Structure 1
């Protein structure tokens, strides 16, 4: 009985140590901005999720396309129904690997990059995303920021010619994630991107 109890405690300790290297978003902000001739397009989404496995250097992001909020409700409808087609393609995702090992034991504010597959509007494309990571080991929290551009044409997001003068070809994406340790289980990274319809 003592051996079984010791084994269970050992396995629990191993899982806890591993889990300390997995982080998930406790809050998020994804903003899209595009310059346009008549009216700039600006929208935000606070319902996105991210999980990072620092042991394997993996990162997975899942953005619900129908959660973007616009000040112009007509523009919001056009975005969700005509451009993003959020009913057919409910999520934009990114799953990849960091390009260098990250030390979680020291306070740091560092530049990072990840190479992986971005999927938007049913189209997958290899991308390198660069950003900054702020690590606070004392409070076991971190902040991940990134800013990059997405070319609509690369993901078959075609704008009707009648409306093309309103929308630029590139959309600027700004992300902000505040993360904390993910302790529920160690299979969350795959769960984040599985069962997603493209």
Structure 2
């Protein structure tokens, strides 16, 4: 980065980066958990897991929205020397920084199967769904303002930090067509060539 430019990562991409691993690890843990009868039995475990899935998805999706809304309102335009980080790099950095937490969460979800089958895995999958819903909400926020929200990479502490954490002083914005991720952090779909 030259002339005072900063590396910028998409806010929605950072939020969305954990959705897929949490979802898939949760599905695998829940599937493996149904093989164990557990202390409560499979029926109670799956019912409790379904309730935990819904609660976790709602809590993760709705929690801390104000911490995203406030810097979004006060966001400043990105400078001409700022470097926009690719979506794949942002996702890879987040997953590398959280790999041990993901592994511990998966092992904990598997371990709970001996008490309440499938419940821990469904809780994990609910957290993944909640992150996806939060990223979609950020995408709607971006579309309504017709800007994309970016956060400085150095404030994320090598991909481990949160885009609404204490270190984040504010967001920067670009036009809606900037970068390689669509509003909400999904891969940008290019129109098919005829």
Report TM bin, short chain: under 0.3
Per residue, is there more helix in 1 or in 2? 2
Question: Counting strand residues as a fraction of each chain, which structure ranks higher?
Answer: 1
TM-score norm. by structure 1 comes to: 0.24
Q: Normalising by the residue count of structure 2, what TM-score does the alignment of the two structures yield? A: 0.25
